[in-house]
Structure 1
Amino acid sequence: MREQLGLTVGQVAWAVGAFWGRPLHPGVVMAWEVGEALPDTDGVRALAAALWCEPADLVGEPRTLLQCRTLARLTLEQAAAEARMPRDRYAESEARGRWRGSPEQTAGMVAALRPPPAVYVAACGLTGRLRVTLREAVTSWWPNYLGPLGRIVPVRAADLERALDQLHRTYQRLDNLADAGHGQAPHDAELRAAAFLDRIDQHLWDALRGSTG
């Protein structure tokens, strides 16, 4: 984005510093660009202003609660208030990437930050439970697992149904190929089926993105 605008690193550093009201060394901007350092929430906002873009253009799909808050344009205090949680406790949840709120606090956080399902599940420490339940679902009769999975993944039931049906069909094709005869092809299919199950949660996120547009 900087190069498309014809700006130097020094010019972007000056613009970010002007946004902050304090100088910023160009080396910090360069570290952001090459991935050696990451800007905090204020840094993302200032960088977006300097590059004439939205914070979402820099962050992409959020992967942490902090990135969700950045895209929601909320301060730490505002996010804590929306979650009805003391500021320090909310800040700790964000720093550790682990959410420990009550059901009411969780509802407030979700309404304010709108985290993608993957971020929500990871923050709530449910990734392991999700993987186990998904493996059982796609390797058996998946409709029996709609309830348990619906209590883990905060998406519409119709979207979850479509995603599970897609994952089940994909796994069954691989499993059927693995059971067909002998030789290298079935062996390769067996390996692909095992690899599919190893990344089953990632396949769910991909399928949900497709089902929700």
Structure 2
Amino acid sequence: MPSKESIPAGLPPLDPRRLAAVREQLGLTIGQVAWAVAAFRGRPLHPALLTAWEQGTEQPDSDEIAALAAALWCAPTDLVGEPRNLLQCRTFAGLTSQEAAAATGLTHHRYLEAEARNRWRGTPEQTAAMVAALRPPPAVYVDACGTTGRLRIAARDAVTGWWPNHLGALRRLVPVDVHVLEQALSRLHGTYQQLQSRAEGDGAAAEAADREAAAFLDRIDAHLWQALRDSAA
């Protein structure tokens, strides 16, 4: 399997589900796509390797992702996962670093520094411009702003208590539509309350539910990101 360094610097790794979906939408077989990729690259590609890419057991390198996109008549961004940092967000947005700096109101040097460190330190106006230009997923935005710890506390308070009381705090941390956030919090609150209800009894089943509830809170940020994706879909 290629090392992480072989993945395109400005793109996340291939998403096997997206690759399979694009191929199936075009009505192409594994063999046909393997032939097209081989023709683009000028060297053979065994269909078994393409199958491994679709199953997620192997990861293509940068040249192979480019060849896949060419073979499937799509952009490389159509085949990879969600952006994980500011650089990948800029790549998805199709902007150069100079264009991103201009759009966000930063000097080119300051923008490059923010992207290299994946840390955002802008004014409210610059931050709003960054969100509009780069469209970062909530997880990327919170991580870049360095507020993951505050987010976890607010999210835990929301799902263990009465979530509407914590909506304002989370809205200040996560730049998403309020209705999407409300749906996500309501869903997470319901899930946690069900776990707590199962943990109130005695015996092994209650102990297992208690452990599951604790594990749910330990990963509350990941659960929130997925709930936001589901609510926005």
1:140 aligns to 2:161 (yes or no) = yes
Find the aligned partners of 2:37 and 2:217 in 1 and give their Cα distance.
46
Q: Report what 1:202 is aligned to.
A: 222
Considering only aligned residues, what root-mean-square deviation do their CA atoms show, in Å?
2.6
> Once the 2 structures are TM-superposed, how far is the Cα of residue 161 of structure 1 from its aligned partner?
1.0
2:194 counterpart residue number: 173
Post-superposition offset of 1:94: 0.9
Match in the other structure for 1:192: 212
Matches within 5 A, 1:100-139: 100-139=121-160
8 Å contact from structure 2 (residues 37, 68) kept in 1: no
Residue 210 of structure 1: CA displacement? 1.3
Distance 2:117 2:38 in 1: 32
**Which residue of 2 is the match for residue 93 of structure 1?**
114
Seen in structure 2, the aligned counterparts of structure 1 residues 36 and 92 have a Cα distance that, compared at 3 Å, is farther
Q: Which amino acid aligns with 2:197?
A: N
Q: What residue is the counterpart of 1:6 in the other structure?
A: 35
- Residue 188 of structure 1 deviates from its aligned partner by 0.3
Deviant stretches of 4+, over 4 Å: 7-11, 34-37, 43-51
Bigger RCO (CA 8 Å, 6+ sep): 2
Q: Is the 8 A contact 1:12 1:50 kept in 2?
A: no
- Counting aligned pairs with the same residue, the percent is 56
Q: How many Å apart are 1:9 and its aligned residue? A: 6.3
One-letter amino acid of the structure 2 residue matched with residue 144 of structure 1:
N
CA distance in 2, matches of 1:123, 1:212: 21
2:79, 2:143 → 1: CA distance? 22
Q: Counterpart of 2:105?
A: 84
CA distances 1:12-39 after superposition (whole Å, capped 9, x unpaired)? 389xxxxxxxxxxxxxxxxxxx6597x5
**Residue 58 of structure 1, CA deviation:** 3.3
CA distance in 2, matches of 1:74, 1:48: 22
Aligned partners of 2:65, 2:209: CA distance in 1, in Å?
47
| TM-score (norm: length of structure 1) | 0.79
Unpaired runs of at least 5, structure 2: 1-18, 20-29, 44-57
Q: Which moved more, 1:115-124 or 1:56-65?
A: 56-65
